[in-house]
Amino acid sequence: MLLSRRVLLATALALPALRRAEAQAAHRVAILHVNDFHSRHEGGQANGAACRADQPCLGGSARLVGAVKAGRAAAAAEGRASLAIDAGDQFMGSLFYTHHRGLAEAAIQNAWGCEAMALGNHEFDHGPENAARYARALSAPLLAANLDTSGEPALHGLVRPWIAFGRGGARIVLVGLITEDTPTIASPGPRLRFRNAEEAAERAIAEARAAGPATVILVSHRGLGADRALAARVRGVDAIIGGHSHTLLANRPDAAGPAPTLVDGPDRAVRIVQAGALGRFLGRLDLDIAADGRIAGHGGEPAELTAAVAEDAEAAAIVARFAAPLGELRARPVAASAAVFDNGACRMAECAIGNLIAEAMLAAVPGADMALQNGGGIRASFPAGTITYGDVLTVLPFGNTLATATIRGGHLLAALENGLSQPGAGRFPQVAGMRIVWDPARPAGSRIVSAEITSGERAGAVQPDRAYRIVTNNFLRLGGDGYAPLRDQALESYDTGPLLEEVVAAHLAAQAPATPRTDGRIATR
């Protein structure tokens, strides 16, 4: 019996050598790629916590710049032209962004020679004006074929749908795509329009191919699942450089899939790559390209940026310059921790650091019945030992304020159902003052088995018609991460409370020492 094309392709991908197709290779190119750097200029531990002298430190801007330069030199020695690109989300994740609002990121991207970048959702965390400021500081073009900027004067003319490069005799077209969820998970303002990504990709590919043979690479900030679906449906896609889902595709045991991951598209095999997150890896995709633009063979995979990777002195000086005004604030001790508060499970289950943050919020608002924090807003772990204010800002980098609202129990349950609708996504609820039992096997929207307030005059099962006072962050209160009931159904609300990082820092300071703890407040049935 004949094997299917899909099985043959999957089998061939498992081979370690450069995979070759039937077409004769005419051009040889190496794509170096980065995604979801999140302002991690000083690197971090594997769990996302800040670097410590006694712990291995991975990534960092100086190491990344050194790796890109070394990667270009290695490609040239192999007879390959190189192209260095970014799949989005440079913003948000450390005090560098909190203070400099993207200028430090642009300076480092310019240092490693970024040649094109797909906009990520976090590039809009502080509105289109800040994104435009960043665009002007960055030497590379910003790409997003499904972003309509015509109604936003601050950004109009600063974002392209696609761009073509000549490399090693090949014509390589990069088409940018941004997640359509950006208005829900960031703050792009009311005048930008986020269009259907697949339709936008089809239009851009048709325009690009009309000008002649090309190898079409989507630079997509939409996540691996969305990239796989698009690859299976849209014609003319040769490869996808991905981001947004923080997925490591590599030929190593801890990876989510091989590098590249192959999808059988309508008219060709599509190679998908993604290089994890937080600057821990530099991706490389080697392509052998036929005269008609089709990929004849591929190789390469992400390289981990360990201490063995030489740091670039120029980049280290740039980081030091941007770090200078941050040192005193960041170094201030806040508390002692008995153990690591890890954020690894916060997008899918109760986590100790989520409990800590939610408890800090609840304690800051006397009379509140429960507190709610989104797991995706917890961007790193607290280390064991001394926790500094810089650690707090790394964990909570968004500058969110404490927000309060009064809401009926039925709408509160609807909000929590939203949080439980996509386990693994950023909306997963971390709570205090409440106990939830849920069933992940039930359909989204009906997963709560029980929900009760655990103390105070409204203790007991949540009643649909009863009014409850909740405390959350202003992002969720204004409908972020799909929490529309908190925006649309609030009987009263106040969004300009103290900064969340200050509330958590004060709560930590009252601990002696802070100790990670889970208690089953979010349980599965």
Give the burial class of 509: count Cβ atoms within 10 A of its Cβ; 0-12 exposed, 13-18 middle, 19 or more buried. Answer: middle
Mean pLDDT of 241-267: 96
The DSSP string of 374-413 is EGGG--S-BPSEEEEHHHHHHHS-S--BEEEEEEEHHHHH
* pLDDT beyond 80 at 366: yes
- The closest of 107, 112, 188 to 147, measured between CA atoms, is 188
Residue 328: predicted pLDDT = 85
Residue 12: predicted pLDDT = 34
Chain segment 408-444, per-residue pLDDT in tens: 999 999 999 999 999 999 999 999 999 999 999 999 9
CB 397 within 8 A of CB 379: yes
Interatomic CA distance for residues 56 and 76, integer angstroms: 31
Q: How would you write 275-329 as a 3-class SS string?
A: ECCCCCEEEEEEEEECCCCCEEEEECCCEECCCCCCCCHHHHHHHHHHHHHHHHH
pLDDT band at 24 (very low <50, low <70, confident <90, very high): low
* pLDDT beyond 50 at 22: no
* pLDDT beyond 50 at 363: yes
- Cβ neighbour number for residue 499 with a 10 Å cutoff: 16
Mean pLDDT of 193-217: 97
Lowest mean pLDDT among 51-60, 106-115, 162-171, 497-506: 51-60
Mean pLDDT of 139-156: 98
DSSP tag of 369: -
pLDDT band at 477 (very low <50, low <70, confident <90, very high): very high
Q: In a 3-state reduction of DSSP, which class is residue 484?
A: helix
Q: In a 3-state reduction of DSSP, which class is residue 248?
A: strand
pLDDT band at 23 (very low <50, low <70, confident <90, very high): low
* pLDDT beyond 80 at 46: no
Residue 56: predicted pLDDT = 79
Residue 5: predicted pLDDT = 34
- Angle, vertex CA 277, rays to CA 431 and CA 319, nearest 5: 105
* pLDDT beyond 60 at 19: no
* pLDDT beyond 80 at 482: yes
* pLDDT beyond 90 at 13: no
Structural domains in the chain, CATH included, are 31-324 (3.60.21.10), 333-524 (3.90.780.10)
pLDDT band at 520 (very low <50, low <70, confident <90, very high): very high
* Percent of the chain topping pLDDT 70: 95
Residue 8: predicted pLDDT = 29
Residue 3: predicted pLDDT = 31
* Percent of the chain topping pLDDT 90: 85
Mean pLDDT of 231-243: 98
